[in-house]
Amino acid sequence: MPAAKRPSASWALALPPGRRARARLCLRLATPLAFLLLLAAFLRTQPPPAAPPPAKPFAGPGKVAFLFLARAGLPLDFLWDAFLRNGDERRFSVYVHSAPGFVLDRATTGSRYFHGRQLARPVKVAWGEPTMVEAEKMLFAAALEDPANQRFVLLSDSCVPLYNFTYTYTYLMSSPKSIVDSFVDKTEKRYNPNMSPVIPKDKWRKGSQWIMLIRKHAELVVDDKHVLKVFRKHCKMIVTKALLEQKPNARRLGFVFRRKQILKGVAEKEHDCIPDEHYVQTIFSTKGLEAEIEKRTLTYTSWNQSTLDPKDKMTWHPTTFEYDTSSPEHINAIKSIDHVNYEVEHRTEWCQCNGTSVPCFLFARKFSYGGAMHILEDGSLGLQKSAQLLVNF
């Protein structure tokens, strides 16, 4: 997806033919009660929010909740398995939002950390529509049910960790702020004036979907109804031909497009809106809480604009890291980035965590199976090079 800034990186290497990822992919009730239940079910437009969290702070080692937004399975589960195996099981939890009906079990993943971790009632995610945001909220809500979860990291099924578990855990837990990429992009036209007054124009924000929230903010996002309502009504993706060409695999990967919107043309283009790049960011700005976030993302993405019109940001798309572009040199180049330029805001963000300089990125996307395998092989996660690691995969 497009963004108005990107850390510079030139992976202008010849890519080998992409390595193919593995294919694997009653009780009777009295009439009045039944009526009430039916009414309640009818009125419920989304799954119930998480139970209210306990008021007193959680005592004991906090957990990092890794929240995966997946299309179906997790093609890079073998790398996450190695990463988590090197960690402390009392200090993390895993949740996966996948396609309805998809179950993570021995048949679909070799990693026990993922078994049964899919949400019970996922939504069918339509790319670029508010259902993506609803899926994110469901992940946060599910993770809030465990009072030990203190940090909530949203990840895609093509994300990889760049550091070992200990480093990642310490980094995340030491941040008293959420880490949410957020900026004002005056060149984009996704704001719809009808969103006012809930979302005034000067509160409209944009940023990467891949965020980390502290517990208090995860609660805030899960509890939000006002901003979501406005997004549902006024922030819809109009899928243009250019975007369809950009995402040729989208349909095959299970995304659902609105055909009638594809057919509507340029007239509505001003109201193109990609909710997942605006929703959380805009909640923070409307609530005046931007001082409580680090305005950057933890997940590196390499934007490919090589063969396209550099002015046409809508057609930029993430480069996929293949085996050759996931060498230690490439990974170390990402790990050494300590600032990000936000050209649209003339802002340079020096990456910090609790007032200390830190590398900007803990994770990166998008990685192919081969790319993730290269990371596992070269041991940059602090893991032993061992065939044992892959025994279940």
Ligand X SMILES: *[C@@H]1O[C@H](CO)[C@@H](O)[C@H](O)[C@H]1NC(C)=O
Q: Which stretch binds ligand X (CB under 6 A): 74-82, 138-146, 164-172, 366-374?
A: 164-172
Judged by CB under 6 A, the chain residues 14 through 33 that form the site for ligand X are 15
Q: Is 164 in the site for ligand X (CB under 6 A)?
A: yes
Q: How far is the CB of 276 from ligand X (least distance, A)?
A: 23
| CA gap 177, 289 in Å, rounded | 10
Q: Is 11 in the site for ligand X (CB under 6 A)?
A: yes
Per-position DSSP letters for 153-185, written without gaps between them: EEEETT-EE-S-HHHHHHHHHT-SSEE---B--
Q: How far is the CB of 351 from ligand X (least distance, A)?
A: 15
Tell me, residue by residue from 329 to 358, as one string, x for binding to ligand X by CB under 6 A and - for no binding: -------------------------x----
- Which pair of tokens denotes residue 80? 């996450």
Q: Which is nearer to ligand X, 10 or 45 (CB)?
A: 10
Length of the chain: 393
**Interacting residue with ligand X among 61, 116, 176, 265 (CB under 6 A):** 176
Q: Is 187 in the site for ligand X (CB under 6 A)?
A: no
Judged by CB under 6 A, the chain residues 297 through 316 that form the site for ligand X are 304, 306-307
CA 102 to chain centroid, in Å, comes to: 19
Tell me, residue by residue from 106 to 145, as one string, x for binding to ligand X by CB under 6 A and - for no binding: ----------------------------------------
| CA gap 392, 242 in Å, rounded | 41
Judged by CB under 6 A, the chain residues 72 through 101 that form the site for ligand X are none
Q: Which is nearer to ligand X, 11 or 393 (CB)?
A: 11
Q: Is 163 in the site for ligand X (CB under 6 A)?
A: yes
Q: How would you classify the pairing of strands 63-69 and 149-156? A: parallel
| CA gap 212, 218 in Å, rounded | 9
In sequence order, the β-bridge partners of residue 92 are 64
Within the chain, how many helices (H) and strands (E) appear?
A: 11, 15
Q: Which is nearer to ligand X, 9 or 126 (CB)?
A: 9
Nearest to 216 by CA among 151, 303, 286, 312: 151
| CA gap 214, 127 in Å, rounded | 26
Phi, psi values for residue 208, rounded to 5°: -60, 145
Q: Is 382 in the site for ligand X (CB under 6 A)?
A: yes
- Cβ distance 113 to 63 under 8 Å? no
Q: Is 319 in the site for ligand X (CB under 6 A)?
A: yes
User: Residues in the site for ligand X, rule: CB under 6 A?
Assistant: 11, 15, 163-164, 166-167, 174, 176, 304, 306-307, 319, 354, 382
